[in-house]
Chains A and B, each alone.
Chain A
Amino acid sequence: MNPREFIAQKGYRDNPRRLMEDLIHLVFLILGLVAVGSVLVITIYLVISGLPAIFKIGPAEFLFGTRWASTASEPEFGILPFILTSIYGTAGAIVIGVPIGFFAAVFLAKMAPRKVREVMELCIGVLAGIPSVVYGLVGMTILVPGIRIIFGVPDGATLFAAIIVLAVMILPSVINVSLTALQAVPREYEEASLALGATSTETYFRVTVPAAKSGIFTAIVLGIGRAIGEAMAIMMVAGNVANMPSIFKSVRFLTTAVASEMSYSSGLQREALFSIALVLFLFIMIINAILNVLKTGGRKG
């Protein structure tokens, strides 16, 4: 179609405002595509640069190898220690962080006096805004020496330190999402329960919490997503040695494996780092998929 026909068909000549309208739509569409385009570029780039090394090393050796020695004279590229560390570290953070966050959310939603709630919500907002490097710095200067002294281990830079830092870091998202879910439960449910003679604590845990279940699961999955993708803070407290994970050992996560070696890497080492990033990306994709299922499930319920 030539431009003149196009203009005639759309009626732009008679109606210049329509032209303006359509132009603005076009601009907004392009801006919207920036996000879509970024995701596509990142995905394609990661797959292209991450896959070759996996096949050079051998998928089984890469994923299940237990030794990572990328610059040794006979290099080995096994990332099982990183995968397990990421899983254990995230699980640990969830085990510690979710109960604290969940009970804090129940307290804020149902029991807290207004003044207390306002102060606590302010604090949680601040906690959410603290950059991860600050978490790392505080962890490095207080938590790491603290763990060494309290537990009597030679060095405090351990998986345990990373779990504590991650547990604190996921608190804001766990609290906020659980809180929204709890507040969305209709008052009638609780009133009915109270009218039947249940105490208020019974009501919260038997009626309100089950009703907010899907929102609380969403909070947990969000926490997992935050914990598994964190790099900076745990790089500063976990010691970064490619050991198989153990609670009082120095460990390296998937994220920190990429971040710590990237700056000086070359050749197959660099390619393997991209492969680690690809594995991490898959983990995050799976978590996002679970999150989506939970969200749509919540809407139906």
Chain B
Amino acid sequence: MKKILMVMVVAALAMAAAFAGGSNEESATVSTDGSTSMEKVILSLAEQYMADNPGVNVTYNPTGSGTGITAALEGRCDIGLSSRALKDSEVESGLKQTIVALDGIAIIVNADNPVSDLSIDQIHDLFTGAISNWSEVGGADAPVVAIGREAGSGTRDGFESITDTEDACVYSQELTSTGAVITAVSQNPGAIGYASLASNLDSVKTLTVEGVAPSEDTVKSGEYQIQRPFVFATLSGTALSDAAQKFFDYCTSAEAASIITGAGAVPVAE
């Protein structure tokens, strides 16, 4: 009994010493605030960066692009995160945008669906219910079943803002993960859905949009239209703090590219 107690006390002391050692280093905080769509990208980057640079703490506040931009403008955070390009008015008010990554969204249908290309307008009509039968866009005589993501999802927000279908989509299913959307689409011959380009799309048919197939290259070149930028918004007049500037440089470096790819986006750094 006594021996066990002794061992436990020694272990506790050793752990205390180890933690105390860690906290002696100076700590700096980099605060980011904004787009929920960028959550996966920013958290992956932050995780790797904090592992490489002990003592630096990167925080992320998921508030939404608009709030993040305002926070950056008002100096409430170091880096504002926006999943859309900054508006001219926002640039004029003193913000600078740096595109860190691009987010491509694939339009998917069932593997048996003969349709292989759609225009943005057709996609808009298919999801809003204006086109309710596949025969209207050159497919079989089958009802259109639109499958999407839940409210608040970054992919849904991105898809709806690009195709101009915000609050107008008539979904048959709202699923909570990309995998669920792909499974549902693969099982229903009339289904159409959307999923991040980085996901595994083998079981479904990926459509070309306006004649362009989605790929890392076509997203980067801008030919594939269903995409949006992931933007770092910073104050254009004032310099970032040392720690924030280092994190910023890391995120825009080629070194971070594989992490951005891993988080499902297309990196822009060469």
Contacts and interface: CB of A to CB of B under 8 A. Distances in A.
Interface stretch (B12-20, B145-153, B201-209): B145-153
Contacts of A260: 150, 174, 176
Interface string B87-123: 0000000000000000000000000000000000000
A157 interface: yes
B62 interface: yes
Contacts of B172: 154-155, 157, 239, 241, 250
Contacts of B144: 154
Interface in B142-185: 142-145, 150-154, 157, 166-167, 171-176, 180, 183-184
Interface string A250-266: 10100000011101111
B152 A240 contact: no
Nearest to A153: B143
A211 B167 CA distance: 56
A73 B184 CA distance: 28
Contact of B173 (A71, A240, A265): A240
B64 interface: yes
A154 B151 contact: no
Most central of B154, B176, B191 by chain A CB within 10 Å: B176
B36 A241 contact: no
Nearest to A256: B176
Contacts of B29: none
A240 B174 contact: yes
B184 to A, nearest CB: 7
A236 B183 CA distance: 11
Nearest to B175: A240
A235 interface: yes
Contacts, number: 81
Contacts of A265: 152
A70 B174 contact: no
A266 B176 contact: no
Given A240-B176, A260-B174, A263-B176, A140 B152 contact: no
A297 B141 CA distance: 59
Given A263-B176, A266-B36, A70 B166 contact: no
Given A235-B176, A240-B175, A261 B152 contact: yes
A69 interface: yes
B62 A266 contact: yes
A144 B175 CA distance: 14
A269 B151 CA distance: 10
A156 B166 CA distance: 25
A154 B190 contact: yes
Contacts of B173: 155, 157, 239-241, 250
A70 B191 CA distance: 25
Interface residues of A, number: 29
Nearest to B132: A154
Nearest to B169: A241
A33 B32 CA distance: 42
Contacts of B166: 72-73
A240 B152 CA distance: 14
A13 to B, nearest CB: 23
B208 to A, nearest CB: 25
B36 A264 contact: yes
Contact of B150 (A73, A157, A236, A261): A261
Nearest to B166: A73
A145 B174 contact: no
Nearest to B173: A239
A261 B151 contact: yes
Given A154-B145, A250-B172, A145 B188 contact: yes
Contacts of A155: 145, 172-173, 188, 190-191
Interface in A221-276: 235-236, 239-241, 250, 252, 259-261, 263-266, 269
B187 interface: yes
Contacts of A235: 176
Given A148-B188, A241-B171, A70 B152 contact: yes
A211 B214 CA distance: 68
Given A240-B150, A240-B175, A259-B176, 17 more contacts: A69-B151, A71-B157, A141-B183, A144-B184, A154-B142, A154-B188, A154-B190, A155-B145, A236-B180, A241-B171, A250-B172, A250-B173, A252-B174, A261-B150, A261-B152, A264-B150, A264-B153
15 contacts: A70-B152, A71-B157, A73-B166, A140-B180, A154-B143, A154-B190, A239-B173, A239-B174, A240-B175, A260-B150, A260-B176, A261-B151, A263-B176, A264-B36, A266-B64
Interface of A: 69-73, 140-141, 144-145, 148, 154-157, 235-236, 239-241, 250, 252, 259-261, 263-266, 269
